[in-house]
Structure 1
Amino acid sequence: MNSFSTLSTLEVEGKSFSIHNITELEKQFGVSRLPFSLKILLENLLRHEDGRDITQEHIKALATWQPGSATAEQISFSPARVILQDFTGVPAIVDLAAMRDAMAELGSDPALINPQIPVDLVIDHSVMVDRFASMDALDLNRKLEFQRNKERYQFLRWGQEAFDNFRVVPPGTGIVHQVNLEYLADVVTERREGDKLMAFPDTLVGTDSHTTMINGLGVLGWGVGGIEAEAAMLGQAITLLIPEVVGFEITGKMPAGTTATDLVLMVTEKLRSKGVVGKFVEFHGDGLSSLPLADRATISNMAPEYGATCGIFPIDAETLRYLRLTGRDQSRINLVEAYARAQGLWREDGDKAANYSDSVTLDLSEVRPSIAGPKRPQDRIDLSEASDRFHRYLVDEGRLDEMPLDIKPAKNQQESRFDSEGGHTAIGSDLTPPVKHIDFDLEGAPMRLHDGDVVIAAITSCTNTSNPAVMMAAGLLAKRARERGLTVKPWVKTSLAPGSQVVPQYLESAELMQPLRELGFHVVGFGCTTCIGNSGPLPEEVSQAIRKGKLVAASVLSGNRNFEGRIHQEVQTNYLASPPLVVAYALAGSMRIDLTTEPLGEDADGKPVFLTDIWPSAAEVAEAVETHVSSSLFGKSYADVFEGAEEWKRLDVPGGNTYQWPESTYVKKPPFFEGISANIVDSPIIKDARCLVMLGDSVTTDHISPAGAILPDSPAGEYLLSQGVSLGDFNSLGSRRGNHEVMMRGTFANVRLRNQLAPGSEGSVTRHLPDGESMSIYAAGMQYQREKTPLVVLAGREYGTGSSRDWAAKGTRLLGVSAVIAQSYERIHRSNLIGFGVLPLQYQEGDDAESLGLSGEERFTISSADQHPATLDVRAENDNGKVVEFTVDIRIDTPVEWDYYRHGGILHYVLRSLASDQSEDALSTSA
């Protein structure tokens, strides 16, 4: 039904499309002033209005939206499709398989568990950088990937056959977000519904926080937890409060010597400082005309880093140009333009800005060469300050005495800065303070490794490898470096992991792959590698030197995440940088070298070579992109996107509508639905709970559920050894997300986790209370469960920052945690906790563990949430009888979230709903 009579016809190339035209509401509500993103949500409501879940009141609330009224009303969003990557996708499909078993146990049809909308899973997170800097790296890494992940891939092949509306893009194709951007996204979707051919905006949710990359193409979508994505796949609308929309105006043009990476780091810094968590960010302004779509996608990709739900760009001429470049059909491009113009979704220079909740402005001429680190992507550093900031980090960590105030310029050192021609000007520099070092041999040659030496230099991640300009810049810089005789320092592990197969093709066409290979940047795989923690082992000699010398080693990568312990467990500091700067740091070999003051090395004549001597001009980069990046490359690369390599085609695929769970350490039937009843059981008071983990601020989902290497002496490693898995076959925590036994042991197991209940420790360590015995967090969780003691987690601000890892919630729940009390939450993790039946509680303003005098050793009793209150009372009593009482806010924000929590999670809610619907249908039929 559509009570507002917005259904109309759009004629494009002789085809008639039915559309819900939001401009029909202009006279009644003045919808033209709405932000672009809210117009898309409004169309979604009009198309799905049913008088029950979506009513006239919901539509009016959004159509009459005004800045400042953002949180007044809950609405539903029904995405057109769902996209998964394999680290988060495998557990999602495992859950669906387990739900089919549970449906059978409830006496219902297992086939009811089936995606109701199109779902694409791109296998991109499983390749690791085992071999590098060699011509056979790509082939060997691919073979190892199939060898390690055969059981997972067989399971996904089964899912591809067993479920409708489910496609798998095989490994070795590219990174999920780049495949989405270059191939999967329609921008405007057409779908037959009854006798009508409908056209509507392409929208989606994905099980990766960087799903927002597609916002650069004008497609509304964002990252959700795997649990929420599964519900969307099964036909459940996503509920949200009408969001605040922050307008980000872009003006001017980028200066010489800067890249899209420099721009996105500045945008991230600005928006983190502004505070946009849980808000939509919408980019507008005449400066967009000078911003290629690849740059827009780079900015949108980083929405999780600046905290926004999405970071969307409008549809304009640049959108159409990109669709043509990437080989989309002209009929699709014509439909996109016609639909966007008809719906008021088209951008032109000079357009009046929409009404926004708040505004940010950036003149592109302000952008400066930058990196970010050493622990967070929002911690931007001007390149000219990078060396000093690293030394300051050493001082703050107590590894270096306070830097002297009267450092004098060093002999023969120069400072170089980009001028309007991209050249450099000598200005002067500072001495480098002494740091800790160790001597060692590498392949028989004597070496010296210092604090701050770069041991990983990786061109990786969708953030930048989607962008031909920065990739060409890296290739041109490599070419000039080789022409001047420069080489990468021998202790640096180099790698190039393109986001799609198009990248090496245009680099080869431009004759830039060879100089990159000469510097060790061979293609190691097509997927998410170093950025996700799949950096692989360091050369053993380098690894031993770091451990023996207890050095603060560094990595530089063109990714989007640099959280503690994420990139490599032996590398303490990690920096995000543009691809050309990754190459430059590989040449320099150290974070202690100021790339704007000191030479990268010497040429054959002994003359110093500065960064600006080899930095390509914007004109050179633009010419390379224009000449060598063509639509034919995209057409060729995506012609057989679902076919896969021979290893994929030869996999044995089990059959059947329900999965016959084999003995496997990769895929194991989870216990989530064991003993599920047809009816829900009210949640009792949480009484005399113990604190399992007490944490500070900015604890990420990487801290809660790491994805990297599995250590042999960790609970997960000990489990795998007990199952007969050799150390060489451990793979990673991310690849074993289909096995709950591994994942619950990996929860809170990040090597950099600092649990305040175990002062001075790092990693999976806590104390069992009240006896105070030190043990792993997993062991404590199991002991508390045997003792029937409920658990809580105490945390600070921004709890759950980062990736949309459903296992950060699943693992928390399986360890026995009933509630988390934090100062604030990141959006996705809060939703995931609810989605798995964990109660998210928030200290009230002015309260925190310190101000309340909580040590974490108390027994916590929390009042009942059965009546859906806004707050709960907490009573914390320590073993000496001291009592602290305080009130917390419940961060269950919508009525539907309350339904999920009461059922024990989203999946339990969906399962009971489907089983109930079938029972009612059976009764109706029999009657």
Structure 2
Amino acid sequence: TEHPFGHLIDTLLSEQYEERRYFNLQKLSDVRYEKLPFCMRVLLESAIRKCDGFYIKTDDVSSILDWQTQQNQAEVAFSPARVLLQDFTGIPAMVDLAAMRDALAKQGVDPNLVNPRCPTDLIVDHSLNKLHFKIYSNRKRQQTFKWYFNACFSLFCLQWCSKAFKNINVVPPDINAVHQVNLEYLCQVVQEGEGFIYPDSVVGTDSHTTMINGLGILGWGVGGIESEAVMLGQPVSLTLPQVVGCKLVGTINPLATSIDIVLGITKHLRQAGIGGKFVEFFGPGVQQLSAPDRTTIANMCPEYNATVSFFPVDDVTLQHFKHTSCSEEKLVVLEDYLKAIKLFRSYSDQSDEPQYSEMNLSSIVPHVSGPKRPQDRVAVTCMKEDFINCLNEKVGFKGFHISKEKQATQVPFLHEGAEYNLGHGSVVIAAIISCTNNCNPSVMLAAGLLAKKAVEAGLTVKPYIRTSLVPGSGTVTHYLNTSGVLPYLRKLGFEVVGYGCATCVGNTAPLPESVVDAIKQGDLVACGVLSGNRHLEGRLCDCVRANYLASPPLVVAYAIAGTVSINLEIEPLGVNSEGKDVYLRDIWPSKEEVNHTEENIVIASMFKELRSRMEVRDYNKSAESALFPWDPKSTYIRCPSFFSKLVCTPQSIEGAYPLLFLGDKVTTDHISPAGSIARVSAAAKYLQSKRLTPREFNSYGARRGNDAVMTRGTFASIKLQNRLIGKTGPKTLHIPSGQTLDVFEAAERYQRDGVPLIILAGKEYGSGSSRDWAAKGPYLMGVRAVIAESFEKIHRNHLVGMGIAPLQFLPGQNADSLELCGKERFTINLPQELTPRQQLTVQVERLTNDMDVAFFRHGGILKYVARSLLL
């Protein structure tokens, strides 16, 4: 049919390139378009181009144009230009599509009909499991090590998915971390397809997807279930957001790194209360930020709870793309097109800028964040005082409650034949990891130059400290090596051990036993320092209680100091061989030194090196087959049971028991399988039944393609607090028998008996990083509904996507106010015709004491008495 906005189609003409067609939004001749924030203009262009009257309607276009009055009210559909998958979520998504092909083939339907409809990139990068440290000095050995653990993924992703599915590009391991590939290779700013050019946009399953906003590309993170829907052609539904403008003014402090700027802006935006909103940056201060600086700032969206942090394309962006091997013709097309539809930002004319909040960049000083939350920022000059206060405070977000007489405790221990001492604040883990800032050459070069100056000054890092360098990109290694600083990082123990997620998700080498024993003996608050953007308690190592986020050069500095209980402004980092004190100011590289190295060595070479590696990718592909040849012996990839029944199940839920009775703020970390597989867990029992030893268990992340492992790992967190048993741990009460079991074992018994399950919860159920298995796992356990006071939005959508009903208590009510003990049976009548926010009646069959439970289990009091007489 005729396109409803066909009259907007225009042609971009120039002698420098072939003509291109596009939808010219200026032809709307609508004053509302002139007032739209730039990020809203990207949404509008997509709605106009994709308007088909079914998925995306003309009402969506009208709502976006009426953004000023419709924000936070109207629901609109958005079709992104592409989907970005990392392997933790992408491989299960591909497994689901492969299983869907099997199910359709059994029904006589052509399995080749199942393909991603939206262009999709799958980057295999998260499966790195760092079992050793400081041993890899050879690139080939690194590859061999990683491919050993990823042989199954190699067969499935590289040899089958890339061949069997259309519209998908698979990037193998050892190329880059997902967000780096997105920044350095996949981003186009302007896409071409279906006869048109249009703005690039993306939704991704990696939490760092928002980094792309720094290059003027609209993108944000979604869960695995949502990404699968977009892959299959469904648009993303979102409520038109508020757009908060952040005006940057002032001059940047020469000692402040981009990380300091990031944390300063994070604090400012967190205080502004911008949860769920879009942020758009403008003002003269923006031009002081390089493109990598902008991507680093945009990456922190999850930490200040924004959906997007958008930097419109400007001259700095164009200059960046000139250094990234972008062709001259593409640059001209890009600039002409963005100017034609008013998506190019010029800071010389400020007459039409709206009045937004301002932030003075000169107020930013170096900080770290911790010891438990990223929002708890500490100026480096106040670090020692703050840590002592943390020791004194009662146990909480900032406290450890160490008595005064024990704060000076020093525990001697032996390591590699030498004696050392550990105390409160001792650094035992120092990691420059792939998250957040490794995309920014300035901070990585600053760390390298600091290491160079430290080694030349005669400083070292104590050998028991678990140091590691896990860049997000092979290009980082390239430019660190090219600039001559990598050997100095190695001398301090920061050896490149691979590319992917490591320390940040708990994949770190175990601490030496002597260190662990010393920590336990003195009940010490040992510390980890890492250059990430989050540090959930216990994730790095269960015996390391204090964890601080810091810029890469500060990670090196604290590793040298060996403690966080130090004022780096007035106390020396260490003593050189001549007995002279060496201070941080003595070895801190100047901004001019860093910028000179970056501009003259890094930018052009790093992108040239990446593209050459991408172009020479070579891996064998199996013979083309529409159906994946599942290996029944594989414990990594398994056909899931989501499609075992394609018939609709009845909506009503009758006689359900609560599997869990949870409190407030249960996060996806509590729900979803993550980290290593404990030897006493249900997943471990399953793997042992497959004749695997504990050394072969690997992590939940590596086994995301096996639903049997992942289901057993659901609710397996040692931090889970279940009111049915009254203590912390991955256990629950099997109500009919009264036995305390692993959560999976209880769910399995309920399913054998044909009993549906629900979960009772408090406020903000499912908060935290969105994870698809936080919904898939409960579904496979037999959970039909979650009744909570409130839900995190993405997780609520995931529950719906898996067929689990997210039911919310009425305002002012909760489990306690309704006097629920969690041992009742629940019947929920869901009508065939449901409407949003519809009120439902839940019938509760109360079993108020153990006798009631016994009567019910035996089928009533008469049978109970009769059976008692038979005994």
TM-score normalised by the chain length of structure 1: 0.86
The answer for the alignment partner of 1:127 in structure 2 is 128
Distance 1:744 1:643, change over 3 A: farther
Whether the 8 Å contact between 1:137 and 1:523 is mirrored in structure 2 is no
| One-letter identity of the residue aligned with 1:572 | R
Whether the 8 Å contact between 2:136 and 2:142 is mirrored in structure 1 is no
For residue 492 of structure 1, report the CA deviation from its aligned partner.
1.1
| One-letter identity of the residue aligned with 2:208 | H
Residue of 732, 735, 738 corresponding to 2:705 = 738
Residues 122-131 or 730-739, more deviating: 122-131
| One-letter identity of the residue aligned with 1:709 | S
Whether the 8 Å contact between 1:208 and 1:804 is mirrored in structure 2 is no
Quick one: distance in 2 between partners of 1:354 and 1:776?
61
Question: Counterpart of 2:368 in 1: which secondary structure?
Answer: strand
| One-letter identity of the residue aligned with 1:719 | Y
Residue of 299, 324, 332 corresponding to 1:334 = 332
Unaligned 5+ residue runs, structure 1?
A: 405-431, 883-927
Distance 1:7 1:52, change over 3 A: same
Distance 1:541 1:471, change over 3 A: same
Distance 1:386 1:865, change over 3 A: farther
The answer for the alignment partner of 1:872 in structure 2 is 840
Q: For residues 447-458 of structure 1, what are the structure 2 equivalents within 5 Å?
A: 447-458=420-431
For residue 693 of structure 1, report the CA deviation from its aligned partner.
4.3
Residues 477-486 or 546-555, more deviating: 546-555
Residue of 751, 761, 767 corresponding to 2:718 = 751
The answer for the alignment partner of 2:859 in structure 1 is none
The answer for the alignment partner of 1:101 in structure 2 is 102
The answer for the alignment partner of 1:37 in structure 2 is 39
| One-letter identity of the residue aligned with 2:777 | G
Whether the 8 Å contact between 1:716 and 1:745 is mirrored in structure 2 is yes
User: Percent identity, aligned pairs only?
Assistant: 46
Distance 1:853 1:556, change over 3 A: farther
Whether the 8 Å contact between 1:178 and 1:462 is mirrored in structure 2 is no
**Deviation by residue 1:617-641 (Cα, 9 ceiling, x = unmatched):** 2122112212221313311222131
The answer for the alignment partner of 1:206 in structure 2 is 204
Whether the 8 Å contact between 1:690 and 1:789 is mirrored in structure 2 is no
The reply to whether residue 692 of structure 1 matches residue 660 of structure 2 is yes
Distance 1:400 1:271, change over 3 A: closer
Residue of 732, 735, 749 corresponding to 1:783 = 749
Whether the 8 Å contact between 2:430 and 2:530 is mirrored in structure 1 is yes
Quick one: distance in 2 between partners of 1:478 and 1:850?
56
Whether the 8 Å contact between 1:376 and 1:563 is mirrored in structure 2 is yes
1 or 2 for the larger relative contact order (CA 8 Å, sep ≥6)? 1
Residue of 797, 802, 808 corresponding to 1:836 = 802
| One-letter identity of the residue aligned with 1:55 | K
**Count of residues in correspondence between the two structures:** 840
| One-letter identity of the residue aligned with 1:109 | D
Quick one: distance in 1 between partners of 2:215 and 2:110?
40
Distance 1:479 1:344, change over 3 A: same
The answer for the alignment partner of 1:672 in structure 2 is 642
Quick one: distance in 2 between partners of 1:354 and 1:669?
56
Residues 107-116 or 538-547, more deviating: 538-547
Quick one: distance in 2 between partners of 1:469 and 1:640?
23
Whether the 8 Å contact between 1:440 and 1:447 is mirrored in structure 2 is yes
Whether the 8 Å contact between 1:863 and 1:874 is mirrored in structure 2 is yes
Question: Counterpart of 1:465 in 2: which secondary structure?
Answer: coil
Quick one: distance in 2 between partners of 1:795 and 1:383?
40
Whether the 8 Å contact between 1:386 and 1:594 is mirrored in structure 2 is yes
The reply to whether residue 659 of structure 1 matches residue 628 of structure 2 is yes
The reply to whether residue 636 of structure 1 matches residue 633 of structure 2 is no
Quick one: distance in 2 between partners of 1:165 and 1:384?
52
Quick one: distance in 2 between partners of 1:543 and 1:335?
59
Whether the 8 Å contact between 2:219 and 2:308 is mirrored in structure 1 is yes
Distance 1:140 1:569, change over 3 A: farther
Distance 1:255 1:656, change over 3 A: same
| One-letter identity of the residue aligned with 1:385 | C
For residue 95 of structure 1, report the CA deviation from its aligned partner.
0.4
Unaligned 5+ residue runs, structure 2?
A: 851-871
Question: Counterpart of 1:524 in 2: which secondary structure?
Answer: coil
Q: For residues 836-855 of structure 1, what are the structure 2 equivalents within 5 Å?
A: 836-849=802-815, 854-855=820-821
**Deviation by residue 1:687-735 (Cα, 9 ceiling, x = unmatched):** 44314141332x3322222431112112112211111112222221101
Whether the 8 Å contact between 1:566 and 1:707 is mirrored in structure 2 is no
| One-letter identity of the residue aligned with 1:476 | L
Whether the 8 Å contact between 1:138 and 1:524 is mirrored in structure 2 is no
Whether the 8 Å contact between 2:247 and 2:283 is mirrored in structure 1 is yes
The reply to whether residue 382 of structure 1 matches residue 383 of structure 2 is no
Quick one: distance in 2 between partners of 1:546 and 1:773?
36
Quick one: distance in 1 between partners of 2:829 and 2:20?
54
For residue 758 of structure 1, report the CA deviation from its aligned partner.
3.5
Quick one: distance in 2 between partners of 1:724 and 1:436?
45
Distance 1:246 1:794, change over 3 A: farther
The reply to whether residue 587 of structure 1 matches residue 560 of structure 2 is yes
Distance 1:365 1:794, change over 3 A: farther
**Deviation by residue 1:427-480 (Cα, 9 ceiling, x = unmatched):** xxxxx9715554332122223333432222111124111001101110111112
Quick one: distance in 2 between partners of 1:244 and 1:664?
48
**Deviation by residue 1:381-403 (Cα, 9 ceiling, x = unmatched):** 32233344444444322996577
For residue 79 of structure 1, report the CA deviation from its aligned partner.
1.4
**Deviation by residue 1:283-327 (Cα, 9 ceiling, x = unmatched):** 222211001111110111121222222221101011111111222
The answer for the alignment partner of 2:684 in structure 1 is 717
Q: CA RMSD in A?
A: 2.6
Whether the 8 Å contact between 1:602 and 1:608 is mirrored in structure 2 is yes
**Deviation by residue 1:816-844 (Cα, 9 ceiling, x = unmatched):** 22222344433332222221112223345
Quick one: distance in 2 between partners of 1:324 and 1:460?
28
The reply to whether residue 804 of structure 1 matches residue 770 of structure 2 is yes
Residues 305-314 or 197-206, more deviating: 305-314
Quick one: distance in 1 between partners of 2:420 and 2:446?
31
For residue 847 of structure 1, report the CA deviation from its aligned partner.
4.2
Quick one: distance in 2 between partners of 1:163 and 1:505?
33
Whether the 8 Å contact between 1:818 and 1:839 is mirrored in structure 2 is yes
**Deviation by residue 1:890-916 (Cα, 9 ceiling, x = unmatched):** xxxxxxxxxxxxxxxxxxxxxxxxxxx
| One-letter identity of the residue aligned with 2:430 | A
Whether the 8 Å contact between 1:223 and 1:828 is mirrored in structure 2 is no
Whether the 8 Å contact between 2:429 and 2:465 is mirrored in structure 1 is yes
The answer for the alignment partner of 1:319 in structure 2 is 317
The answer for the alignment partner of 2:500 in structure 1 is 527
| One-letter identity of the residue aligned with 1:674 | S
Whether the 8 Å contact between 1:562 and 1:575 is mirrored in structure 2 is yes
The reply to whether residue 502 of structure 1 matches residue 475 of structure 2 is yes
Quick one: distance in 2 between partners of 1:529 and 1:857?
41
**Deviation by residue 1:171-211 (Cα, 9 ceiling, x = unmatched):** 111111111101111000112x3xxx411011111111221
Quick one: distance in 2 between partners of 1:329 and 1:610?
46
Whether the 8 Å contact between 2:8 and 2:27 is mirrored in structure 1 is yes
| One-letter identity of the residue aligned with 1:184 | L
The answer for the alignment partner of 2:445 in structure 1 is 472
Distance 1:472 1:185, change over 3 A: same
Whether the 8 Å contact between 1:315 and 1:347 is mirrored in structure 2 is yes
Question: Counterpart of 2:614 in 1: which secondary structure?
Answer: coil
Distance 1:113 1:335, change over 3 A: same
The answer for the alignment partner of 1:242 in structure 2 is 240
Whether the 8 Å contact between 1:284 and 1:313 is mirrored in structure 2 is yes
